[in-house]
Amino acid sequence: MHGRPRKATKPEDTAASAAKAAKLRDLQAQLLHQHNHRIYTSEALSASSKLLDMNPEIYTAWNYRKLALQHNLNEVTDPEIVKSAIKDELRVVEMALRRNPKSYGAWYHRKWVLSRGLAPVDFEREFQLLDQLLKADARNFHGWSYRRFVAKLKNVSEEEELKFTMDMINTNFSNYSAWHNRSVLLSWLLKQKAQGFDSKEDILTEEYELVRQALFTDPSDQSGWFYHLWLLDQTASPDELFLISSWPVPGSDLVLSMNDKADGYMLFPTSNFSLCYFFDKRTFPIILYFNQAVKGVSSSTVTTNSVFVANENLIWRPLLTTSSREAHCWVTYLNVPDVNPSNLKAYSVEISLGHSEGIVSSNGSCYKYPVQFEFTIKLNNNNLEQFNVESRQELFGWNYDDVCHPPEIPDINSFDQLKISEDHVAEGSKDKQWHLETLSNEINLFKELSEENCKFVNLTLARLLVAHDAMVSHGASLMQKRIHSEEVLKLYEEVIKLDPSHKRYYEDERSLVLMSQVTSDKEFLMKHTWHFSKLTSSSFHNHACLQLSGLSLSRIGFVEHLLWVQMLDLSHNNLRTIAGLEALQLLVCLNLSYNQISSFTALEPLKLLDSLRVLDVSFNEIGAHPIDTTRFLCMSPLSHTLDVKLKIDQFQKGDIKVGDHWEAILLFKDLRLTQLDVRGNAVANERFGILLTEVLPTLNWLNGERAR
């Protein structure tokens, strides 16, 4: 193991292993027989205890003993008999823990026995057992979890347990589990505002002083650094739940023009008719983006007043690919009615939330700041001459020299920024001074230590600078430059050199800084934004394009600033995931070529983009890796029925196995792409192209050539 040469096996060791295996098989056979026939005699229980002593990880044996205990004590009234049976059960657990102190089954069984309340708990015995265990291994997280269980069972106060963590930390600063348990206890005490813990600022200040002692004692030990990261999260993460972005832009005036040549319409901002949104369906989205993942967004918590649809008929859905109902981004759709050509009228759409309870974040915070904003829509059924629906069927190319020029968009910095009212900013800034002062003090402290070339020092300094910039810009109505971005980028470059084994994590953090730099600063955003002109031969006239190619991005972030984006170029980066793009509900064209995407399941967020028509995933690594680590994100045909109608008889028998490409089928069957490029991937070949044309009946162009 881990490069160590194996020792030659002695004949006597081989014989002993064979005898042990034979005994184990015999005991397992007995267990299954007794379990199936519900035999709960003392002899049967003795055999199961011997089996668990040899291998504590046999869950069937633990389940058998639960059933046996319930059966044997079902009608017993003698407390001594019950006490003896419980004592025997706990003894079996102790035998198993001596064999494996980190046995999940054994620890869970002990909790189950005590939680039944069949006999008084010998708490002195339980704490003695824990003391012995933590002396042998102070970082055994099972032991710490069990201690929390026993302390709660005995009604030991959190304050007393907090003192115990301090004793363990003083004994050994490197006790990560003690630091973690301390964070769990403090989180609960601060949330409940227990006596002596009502001032979060005072408590965290003391904790910063405590952890500094550990960091200065041994800067190379990671335990204190993880606790410092928890403190930073408590300091920098806002407790308040805010709506931070939306589309359409609050206060915007839009002109909606129907098109007779397609079942759709065009949407123009009245301030800039050179910018156009085209929707194939007779609906358009309303998007809300919160600073935390939330649940409970519905017509009862968000009120939409408009002539287009009754509020109670609107269905809000979270934009996420998992089964969870918590998401940062939520969307609903307004229906577009038929328009009288002689009736050109502006209609107001009002959105309000926070006037009733129900929107709750993943950490339990409730949305409590009322927000109300509106935008207007002017209906017009006059077809605009410069828009040619048929041109959208032409082959589109990402050629900036020929078809793009810098945008003439006067108010790009307010595309999707929700103007939080001054009252909300003031409310969120009441205790902002302490947070900024604390971050500044920590920054000055770690800048003095950064010359030691310690990866933890540089990493923590980078995190502090990022948190400081985010807090300074929190609540700002205009885009504000992150003043420490360049310094943070240099720090991550240095950390990558110091700790190359965790390079991918540092690259992801660096990517978030780059995304923040580009999207939060008007100068940077203008530099990366292009406008597809009506004067060109582009099949997507008057579309805004954000070009983020060649930035070495490995992760996407700050999409709340990009809800307006229709065309996004992320080519020539290091992306392995596209999580976050599901929020870009206006996205029509997406370029992911020349990245490191290794599977179709990594493209799962695309299934939530109804407007997506052009996709380029050429020259990635799809099909090159035999093990797809992202498959758990995608529904498997092993548990779901494929409803894609494929003309299997068109394939030569044995040439293509549809079962080998279920990820691609489940992805593309929900898309309405007109153009797709998969060249340069290991999976791409002629037969796979045939499969794609069958799965995508809307496809006109495949790999730069006519698909049909």
Q: Summarize pLDDT for 639-669 with one digit per residue, the tens.
A: 444 444 444 444 444 456 666 788 888 899 8
* pLDDT digit string, tens, across residues 70-81: 999 988 889 999
- Strands (DSSP E) contained in 498-631 are 529-532, 543-547, 567-569, 589-591, 614-616
Give the C-alpha separation, 670 to 696, whole Å.
Answer: 9
Q: What is the pLDDT of residue 392?
A: 60
How much of the chain is helix, strand and coil, in % rounded to 5?
A: 45, 15, 40
Out of 15-24, 256-265, 542-551, 600-609, give the one with best mean pLDDT. 600-609
Average pLDDT of the residues in 187-192: 89
Strands 346-353, 327-335: pairing kind: unpaired
Give the C-alpha separation, 592 to 8, whole Å.
Answer: 52
Q: What is the pLDDT of residue 208?
A: 95
Q: What is the pLDDT of residue 152?
A: 92
Q: In the 8-state DSSP scheme, what is residue 614? A: E
Average pLDDT of the residues in 326-347: 78
At residue 299 the predicted structure's pLDDT band, cuts being 50, 70 and 90, is very high
- Of residues 283, 282, 276, the one with CA closest to residue 262: 282
Query: Across the chain, what does the average pLDDT equal?
Result: 83
Mapped onto helix, strand or coil, the DSSP state of residue 656 is coil
Residue 526 has pLDDT above 50, yes or no: yes
Burial of 114 (0-12, 13-18, 19+ CB in 10 A): buried
Residue 430 has pLDDT above 70, yes or no: no
Which range among 94-98, 239-243, 432-436, 528-532 shows the weakest confidence by mean pLDDT? 528-532
Strands 701-702, 705-706: pairing kind: antiparallel
Residue 244 has pLDDT above 60, yes or no: yes
pTM of the model as a whole: 0.84
Which range among 180-184, 446-450, 648-652 shows the weakest confidence by mean pLDDT? 648-652
Residue 421 has pLDDT above 70, yes or no: no
* Alpha carbon separation from 699 to 44, 184, 292, 299, 683 (Å, rounded): 66, 53, 37, 36, 19
Laid out side by side, the sheet with 277-279 consists of 277-279, 264-269, 253-259, 371-380, 346-353, 302-305
Q: What is the pLDDT of residue 465?
A: 94
Mapped onto helix, strand or coil, the DSSP state of residue 705 is strand
Query: Within a 10 A sphere around the Cβ of 244, how many other Cβ atoms?
Result: 19
* pLDDT digit string, tens, across residues 358-413: 999 988 889 988 889 898 888 776 555 445 555 567 788 887 665 555 545 444 44
At residue 46 the predicted structure's pLDDT band, cuts being 50, 70 and 90, is very high
Strands 283-295, 327-335: pairing kind: antiparallel
At residue 415 the predicted structure's pLDDT band, cuts being 50, 70 and 90, is very low
- Of residues 440, 423, 510, 525, the one with CA closest to residue 480: 525
Average pLDDT of the residues in 460-481: 75
Which amino acid is present at 283? T
User: What is the residue whose two structure tokens read 């003993």?
Assistant: 65
- Strands (DSSP E) contained in 237-282 are 243-247, 253-259, 264-269, 277-279
Show the tokens assigned to 545: 């394009």
Q: Which helix (H) or strand (E) holds 376?
A: strand 371-380
Residue 320 has pLDDT above 80, yes or no: yes
Which range among 53-57, 534-538, 591-595 shows the weakest confidence by mean pLDDT? 534-538
Give the C-alpha separation, 48 to 44, whole Å.
Answer: 6
Which amino acid is present at 242? F
Average pLDDT of the residues in 219-236: 91
Decide if 419 contacts 425 (C-beta within 8 A).
no
Query: Within a 10 A sphere around the Cβ of 21, how many other Cβ atoms?
Result: 10
Residue 138 has pLDDT above 90, yes or no: no
Average pLDDT of the residues in 546-555: 94
* Alpha carbon separation from 51 to 27, 58, 102, 326, 667 (Å, rounded): 6, 8, 17, 44, 47
Residue 345 has pLDDT above 80, yes or no: no
Give the C-alpha separation, 513 to 516, whole Å.
Answer: 5
